[in-house]
Amino acid sequence: MSLQSDDTSPNGFAARPRGWLRAVIVAPLALAFVAAAVGFVGFLSQLRGVETDPPQNADGIVVLTGGSSRVSDAMELLAAGYGKRLLISGVHPTNDASDISRSVPDSKGLMSCCVDLDRSALNTRSNAAETRRWARERGFKSLIVVTSNYHMPRAIVELSHAMPDVTLIPFAVVGDKWRDEPWWTSGATFRLLLSEYAKYVAAEMRVRLADLGLDLTSELAEPAAAPRRPATAQAN
């Protein structure tokens, strides 16, 4: 007597829909995982492991606050003549030029003549909005962008969307921890990269939808009133 189940039995017919349902659910999830993994590798390939001098000078320099040594590196670029003026975007409202001067040695002269402070930006999108206002007010057509290497891809997405007519030259700041140990050996760094990758993908999707006319937000829209000037270290 054969104990092999008969596919024509009711149980056999019931097993088939369950198998197809499982395949329908698992296959897209597997494809999504593979796509995310490939995208993450592509994201990592954009991250520079060493700091290199900008290949050319620009009209201005913008540094997005939030990471160690970003401002000091931007000040060094300004001192070296890579740009005419520097915008420090995302300065805490309670900080002023003297606070930055104390944290960046030998910067007092530059702070008084050539540095503008933006205290309005709260995130990368508003960094882009404030940078656009600043660049337009100054008539700048090229900018060196200073931010951490892991933040640079998203920053360029936001800035290029806000200012498609401005040439952006990345200067990626590489932290000491990034240099001292591979990112995959540090759980904190790995989680940071995953979080930044998710934000980068979200920014890319939003920008692409906006290019198709599906912009659901208006944060980057110009205000009806005259644009507000960023706070400056010294009026000039």
**What is the rounded average pLDDT of the residues 8-25?**
60
What is the per-residue pLDDT for 179? Answer: 78
Q: Edge-to-edge, what's the strand order for the sheet holding 115-118?
A: 167-173, 142-148, 60-64, 85-89, 115-118, 231-232
Among 25-29, 170-174, 210-214, 229-233, where is mean pLDDT lowest? 229-233
Question: How far is residue 111's CA from residue 232's CA, in Å, rounded to a whole number?
Answer: 9
Written as six digits, the tokens of 106 are 């030998």
Q: Is the pLDDT of residue 109 over 60?
A: yes
- How far from the centroid of its chain's Cα atoms is residue 59's Cα? 21
What is the per-residue pLDDT for 126? Answer: 94
Question: Any idea what DSSP says for residue 170?
Answer: E
Question: How far is residue 160's CA from residue 171's CA, in Å, rounded to a whole number?
Answer: 15
Average pLDDT taken over every residue of the chain: 81
- Determine contact, residues 172/149, Cβ cutoff 8 Å: yes
What is the per-residue pLDDT for 142? Answer: 98
What is the per-residue pLDDT for 43? Answer: 87
What is the per-residue pLDDT for 153? Answer: 96
73/109: higher pLDDT: 73
147 beta partners: 172
Among 68-72, 108-112, 200-204, 227-231, where is mean pLDDT lowest? 227-231
- Residue 61, judged by CB atoms within 10 A of its CB (0-12, 13-18, 19+), counts as buried
Give residue-wise pLDDT tens across range 30-63: 777 777 778 888 888 889 888 899 999 999 999 9
What is the β-pairing status of strands 115-118 and 231-232? antiparallel
What is the per-residue pLDDT for 113? Answer: 87
* Helix 152-162 × helix 187-211 angle, to 10°: 20
- Determine contact, residues 65/91, Cβ cutoff 8 Å: yes
What is the per-residue pLDDT for 21? Answer: 66
- How far from the centroid of its chain's Cα atoms is residue 183's Cα? 18
pLDDT band for position 8 (50/70/90)? low
pLDDT band for position 211 (50/70/90)? confident
What is the per-residue pLDDT for 19? Answer: 65
Give residue-wise pLDDT tens across range 128-151: 999 999 999 999 999 999 999 999
